[in-house]
Amino acid sequence: MREREEAVAERISGALVVELRGELDIDTVLRWTTLIEAALCELPEPHLLVLDLTALEFLSAHGARGLLAAVEGYRDRGITGCLIVVPGSVPDRVVRLTRLAGQVRVFPNRLTAIAACQPVEMRWLPG
């Protein structure tokens, strides 16, 4: 993995948010999916996995297929997955061209993703 590639994981409102930085391609897809799995194992059972791709510099079609396979595997474990991409960015175009957007919900930011995907009992509403 190149020096600038890293993942940052944090728990927000019952969701595990993993921010991917650097490149996600054929050379790095196994490393990224392993890092995501490790983050899932370290934290108490999240109901929602948010993969934040806004800091990715490059996403290949192979990388997008790897993300889809990972998210489908998490579904089997009862974990909902979604992606965050900047509209019009390279990752956004790859997500749409590979039809990953048809398989996984895509949002422009974390707040929207968490609000839309959290189970009703997990949502915090002022009031």
Q: What angle separates helix 29-42 from helix 61-75, to the nearest 10 degrees? A: 30
pLDDT-derived band of residue 20, with 50, 70 and 90 as boundaries?
A: very high
Segments making up each domain of the chain, as ranges: 6-118
Length of the chain as a residue count: 127
CATH of 6-118, picked from 3.30.420.40, 1.20.1070.10, 3.30.750.24, 3.40.50.2000, is 3.30.750.24
Q: What is the mean pLDDT of the chain?
A: 84
Kindly report the number of other CB atoms within 10 A of residue 44's CB atom.
7
CA atoms within 13 A on the CB side of 33: 19
Average pLDDT (75-96) is 91
Per-residue pLDDT at 32 exceeds 80: yes
Per-residue pLDDT at 85 exceeds 60: yes
What 3-state DSSP class applies to 94?
helix
Q: Say how far apart CA 86 and CA 23 lie, in whole Å.
A: 15
pLDDT-derived band of residue 12, with 50, 70 and 90 as boundaries?
A: confident
Place of tokens 């790095």: 28
